[in-house]
A and B are shown apart, each in its own frame.
Chain A
């Protein structure tokens, strides 16, 4: 079983990873699907750890760690949930709409085998965007239940 020090050290590492991801997200105008998923997973990971640690830690014995937890929860709430997350959802929705529009406007005349198979990659990208959006919407539902 991991000791309190191990858990504490793990939380500091994971929080640092999250802060780096959030900083990366705020500096970029476009995020890849991989970056979106990685950031959301890290948010969920750190949030879950925070919940568990808060139940286990004593206010007087672990003040520094508890302050760190409160600090990172504030970053998640104020920086991510209120600002970054709505932007991600909005951009994904727009990107999906644009992809659908582009694919619908594709010429349906006779196409070569190569053309069809290249176009299929665009459909695959659209499916990946849609599934990422579903994932982000699940997170959003969780927020509305909080």
Chain B
């Protein structure tokens, strides 16, 4: 079911890009109601809409039937956050969000794989951590950029625990994690590898946590970036080096790939049993 929702979302996005004639920097959509294509609880959809309507990055919204799905289109601008982020030497990648619906689908899969806690690393406006709370998982949002953390605090309709911290220095032991999955919010070629390696080092130092931990990597097939010799959308070398195995990949729409033919692959991995 989760793969079907992901495919239907990609199809919806492709239909949307054909007809979208606005000028906004970022744009995304959320279906209004539960349907055969999107069998998602109505209460969950409403919370996703609340997250968008309360979020100051969006300055316009309107209803639109796309394919056969009635959606609300949200138009946004993240330039002032980008401007702030380029002033951080230690910031790994300027803020560019995944779609809210994509965040929800990713968390659906994380829950289906049996994880208890979601830790969103480089969380931007906190949408993945927010979706985790919708789906009754514990969640923590780690973001280095104070301006973005202030933005997250406006969006804690559900408390997804925003933390303003450098993720490679954060004290994960204090969270008492049991079966966590970490989402790494950065492309491998844009500092994501360095970020993931730093966080892994911290987690591996916590007794028994390594084998219970999952990792989700945001990849790319874009030819703009250098390929990884071991593939996995740029993450293959890190996956092999850390004795991980890919369990599933979901391709989903994101703000940065809106005009690209390929969606963004999210690679779900876990430690290989010894």
Nearest opposing residue in chain B for A127, CB measure: B82
Check A123–B60 contact: CB distance below 8 A. Answer: no
**Interface flags, A117-129, vs B, CB<8A=1, else 0:** 1011001001000
Check B83–A113 contact: CB distance below 8 A. Answer: no
A44 within 8 A of B: no
**Which of B59, B79, B80, B82 lies in contact with A113, CB distance below 8 A?**
B59
Check A117–B24 contact: CB distance below 8 A. Answer: yes
Supposing A113-B59, A113-B60 touch, asked if A120 and B83 sit within 8 A by C-beta, the answer is no
A93 → chain B, closest Cβ, in Å?
Answer: 14
Check A120–B25 contact: CB distance below 8 A. Answer: yes
Nearest opposing residue in chain B for A113, CB measure: B60
B71 → chain A, closest Cβ, in Å?
Answer: 19
**Which of B77, B83, B86 lies in contact with A116, CB distance below 8 A?**
B77
Nearest opposing residue in chain B for A115, CB measure: B59
Q: Which residues of B contact A130 (CB under 8 A)?
A: 86
B18 within 8 A of A: no
Q: Which residues of B contact A126 (CB under 8 A)?
A: 83
A103 within 8 A of B: yes
Query: In the complex, A120 Cα to B25 Cα: how many Å?
Result: 7
Check B80–A108 contact: CB distance below 8 A. Answer: yes
Check B82–A123 contact: CB distance below 8 A. Answer: yes
A9 → chain B, closest Cβ, in Å?
Answer: 35
B41 within 8 A of A: no
Query: In the complex, A117 Cα to B11 Cα: how many Å?
Result: 27
Nearest opposing residue in chain A for B82, CB measure: A123
Nearest opposing residue in chain A for B83, CB measure: A103
Check A120–B79 contact: CB distance below 8 A. Answer: yes
B52-92: which have CB < 8 Å to A?
A: 59-60, 75, 77, 79-80, 82-83, 86
A65-101: which have CB < 8 Å to B?
A: 100
B23-62: which have CB < 8 Å to A?
A: 23-25, 59-60
Interface size on B, residues (CB 8 A): 12
Q: Which residues of A contact B80 (CB under 8 A)?
A: 103, 108
**Interface flags, B156-168, vs A, CB<8A=1, else 0:** 0000000000000
Q: Which residues of B contact A113 (CB under 8 A)?
A: 59-60, 75
**Which of B25, B59, B60, B83 lies in contact with A100, CB distance below 8 A?**
B83
Q: Which residues of A contact B60 (CB under 8 A)?
A: 113
Q: Which residues of A contact B79 (CB under 8 A)?
A: 103, 119-120, 123
Nearest opposing residue in chain A for B80, CB measure: A108
Check B23–A123 contact: CB distance below 8 A. Answer: no
Q: Which residues of B contact A123 (CB under 8 A)?
A: 25, 79, 82-83
A29 within 8 A of B: no
A99-146: which have CB < 8 Å to B?
A: 100, 103-104, 108, 111, 113, 116-117, 119-120, 123, 126, 130
Query: In the complex, A115 Cα to B83 Cα: how many Å?
Result: 17
A132 → chain B, closest Cβ, in Å?
Answer: 15
Query: In the complex, A104 Cα to B60 Cα: how many Å?
Result: 22
**Which of B23, B77, B82, B83 lies in contact with A104, CB distance below 8 A?**
B83
B131 → chain A, closest Cβ, in Å?
Answer: 26
Which of A103, A108, A123 gathers the greatest number of chain B CB atoms within 10 Å?
A123
Which of A104, A108, A113, A126 gathers the greatest number of chain B CB atoms within 10 Å?
A113
Q: Which residues of B contact A (CB under 8 A)?
A: 23-25, 59-60, 75, 77, 79-80, 82-83, 86
Q: List 20 additional A-B contacts (Cβ < 8 Å) besides A103-B79, A113-B75, A117-B77.
A: A103-B80, A103-B83, A104-B83, A108-B80, A111-B59, A113-B60, A116-B24, A116-B59, A116-B77, A117-B23, A117-B24, A119-B77, A120-B24, A120-B25, A120-B77, A120-B79, A123-B82, A123-B83, A126-B83, A130-B86
Q: Which residues of A contact B (CB under 8 A)?
A: 100, 103-104, 108, 111, 113, 116-117, 119-120, 123, 126, 130
A-B contact pairs, 9 of them (CB 8 A): A100-B83, A103-B83, A108-B80, A111-B59, A117-B23, A119-B77, A120-B23, A120-B25, A130-B86
